Chain A
């Protein structure tokens, strides 16, 4: 049971990087980036190829760079080429399917069983020590904490403030000297690099990458993000970032429990969709009810 929980926490932490990516694009920049699934798979595919070539650590930044490129294209389409923001995401997502198969050498599955990964390094490093059974967890925790610190620090820079303002009040930014195009590009590049990192880590963790690894990630991450929001309502970015990670872990734990209660695994995507719908339309109906109550009073 403890190992079951540990696995859930590990998977939750890995997906928390995608949740943090959405925290940047969806919560901060107010862009719904529909290329998330493809970018996740791209991170896994690129990461797997580099890992297989014997460079598991290099795989992380290379995957991030690949994600960044995909984010750049999505951003360019919607800021410079007149493509609607949602359509930009969908088309990039579709294109990435071909790109990812090509990256994986015309195959839809890459096996990393025989390759070293950051997790096998972590296990070797902590071999025989007290941390031995937690080697993978420790590795992931370190990475997630590092990313959290970077995001909070970024959101407090002037550039980060500009990203937040662009999502918060586009009118204001448009009438200021801030270049919204550059800000949107920056935001989507950063967020997609995190999505890809998330995918790369999952590939190394699962010791395999397949073309469907990212399917449904957007909805799952969105569900986690919205759950995380319940923990810290309307607080600063520090709380928001912690909330996103907690939401991701919480989501995975609940899912694991549901599996234990005999929910079939294929239900994951339905459940995450329902959570997203509830989390978005719940407050909507509540505010409508309140308004009605106010009218009657």
Chain B
């Protein structure tokens, strides 16, 4: 359903800072795939997701979503079918607006001149209660008062309110404390499984890279160096992954935030 064909991206071309961030990326994502992406700092993981969501154009190659070539489609147009979460919990919601206002905006209900109704509020309350964070009783509170974990959970709800064709998660639990990260990850898994969402998730946590989803991709220096799924993946351990990386990249997998368990 998502196809990347020979995608290249170089930053700062022709300058001393020239950096090839994506190099001949070929990727075929099937409908319902939940892919975890791992790799060292600067491997090009975020660049890959940014290229898919249209933050910048790519130098060559094409990106095809559901049979439509979106290589030149603008970022906000892609956003109507691609949901995104970033590492920074502050990025996904408007702090001085209330929880319900944020949800109403994200829900895209009815026309631009429509107002929130009681039925909308009831629906928001139900969806919020599924997060299990008590947000359903704080719908009129400004989002700025929420904790990072609550805000990230709300962002996840906003990004998946209308089921997107594709969900892109860029280390969305990395800024949270371990217990909260666990909780947000559990909610993420829940939402994705329940709605059968196709998802690409960058993670610094080697264990959850193997536990979550059905496929794992390893990146290094702008290339996909390993791609595993099915039985072979089921038999893979964190140690195997680290060894594999060492063999393929010729160096140890290093990531500031890396968690081995």
Q: Find B106's partner among A156, A169, A176 (CB 8 Å cutoff).
A: A176
CB neighbours (8 Å) of B142 from chain A are 234
Query: Which residues of A149-164 are within 8 A (CB) of B?
Result: 153, 156-159, 161-162, 164
A178 to B94, CA, bound (A): 13
User: Interface-forming stretch among B97-105, B126-134, B190-198, B224-232?
Assistant: B97-105
**Is B92 part of the contact surface with A, judged by Cβ < 8 Å?**
yes
**Is A262 part of the contact surface with B, judged by Cβ < 8 Å?**
no
**Is A114 part of the contact surface with B, judged by Cβ < 8 Å?**
no
Decide: A159 and B113 in contact? CB cutoff 8 A.
yes
**Is B13 part of the contact surface with A, judged by Cβ < 8 Å?**
no
Q: Which A residue's beta carbon lies closest to that of B74?
A: A179
Chain A contact residue count (CB 8 A cutoff)? 22
CB neighbours (8 Å) of B115 from chain A are 153, 156-157
A156 to B90, CA, bound (A): 22
**Is A3 part of the contact surface with B, judged by Cβ < 8 Å?**
no
Of residues B101, B102, B110, which shows the largest number of chain A Cβ atoms within 10 Å of its Cβ?
B101
Taking A161-B105, A177-B108 as given, write out 18 further A-B residue pairs in contact, using a Cβ cutoff of 8 Å, ordered by the A residue number. A157-B112, A158-B105, A158-B110, A159-B112, A164-B96, A164-B97, A164-B101, A168-B96, A169-B93, A172-B91, A172-B92, A172-B94, A175-B91, A177-B79, A178-B76, A178-B105, A179-B76, A234-B142
A21 to B130, CA, bound (A): 40
Q: Which B residue's beta carbon lies closest to that of A174?
A: B75
Interchain nearest-CB distance for A30 vs B (Å): 11
Decide: B93 and A172 in contact? CB cutoff 8 A.
yes
List the interface of chain A (C-beta within 8 A of B). 153, 156-159, 161-162, 164-165, 168-169, 171-172, 174-180, 234, 236
Chain A binding surface SS class: helix
Q: Find A161's partner among B90, B95, B101 (CB 8 Å cutoff).
A: B101
A157 to B75, CA, bound (A): 24
A267 to B92, CA, bound (A): 46
Q: Find A175's partner among B79, B97, B109 (CB 8 Å cutoff).
A: B79
Decide: A177 and B76 in contact? CB cutoff 8 A.
yes
Interchain nearest-CB distance for B89 vs A (Å): 11
Q: Find A158's partner among B91, B92, B112 (CB 8 Å cutoff).
A: B112
CB neighbours (8 Å) of B105 from chain A are 158, 161-162, 165, 178
Offer 13 A-B interface pairs, CB within 8 angstroms, sorted by A.
A153-B115, A157-B112, A157-B115, A159-B113, A162-B112, A164-B94, A165-B97, A168-B96, A175-B75, A175-B79, A175-B84, A234-B96, A234-B142
Q: Which B residue's beta carbon lies closest to that of A155?
A: B101
Given contacts A158-B112, A175-B53, contact A169 B76 (CB under 8 A): no
A216 to B101, CA, bound (A): 35
A176 to B74, CA, bound (A): 11
What is the interface residue range for chain B against chain A? 20 to 34
CB neighbours (8 Å) of B255 from chain A are none
Chain B binding surface SS class: loop
CB neighbours (8 Å) of A234 from chain B are 96, 142
A165 to B98, CA, bound (A): 11
A223 to B90, CA, bound (A): 30
Decide: B77 and A158 in contact? CB cutoff 8 A.
no
CB neighbours (8 Å) of A174 from chain B are 75-76
**Is B114 part of the contact surface with A, judged by Cβ < 8 Å?**
yes
Decide: A169 and B94 in contact? CB cutoff 8 A.
yes
A179 to B74, CA, bound (A): 10
Interchain nearest-CB distance for A173 vs B (Å): 8
A264 to B106, CA, bound (A): 53
**Is B260 part of the contact surface with A, judged by Cβ < 8 Å?**
no
Interchain nearest-CB distance for A48 vs B (Å): 33
A172 to B53, CA, bound (A): 14
**Is B67 part of the contact surface with A, judged by Cβ < 8 Å?**
no
Decide: B76 and A158 in contact? CB cutoff 8 A.
no
CB neighbours (8 Å) of A162 from chain B are 105, 112
Interchain nearest-CB distance for A244 vs B (Å): 16
Q: Which A residue's beta carbon lies closest to that of B79?
A: A177
CB neighbours (8 Å) of B112 from chain A are 157-159, 162
Interchain nearest-CB distance for A290 vs B (Å): 18
Decide: A180 and B93 in contact? CB cutoff 8 A.
no
Interchain nearest-CB distance for A239 vs B (Å): 12
Decide: A165 and B94 in contact? CB cutoff 8 A.
yes
Mark contacts of B114-125 with chain A using CB atoms, 8 A cut-off: 1 yes-contact digit, 0 otherwise.
111000000000
CB neighbours (8 Å) of A180 from chain B are 76
Of residues B79, B104, B142, which shows the largest number of chain A Cβ atoms within 10 Å of its Cβ?
B79
A125 to B116, CA, bound (A): 40
A169 to B90, CA, bound (A): 9
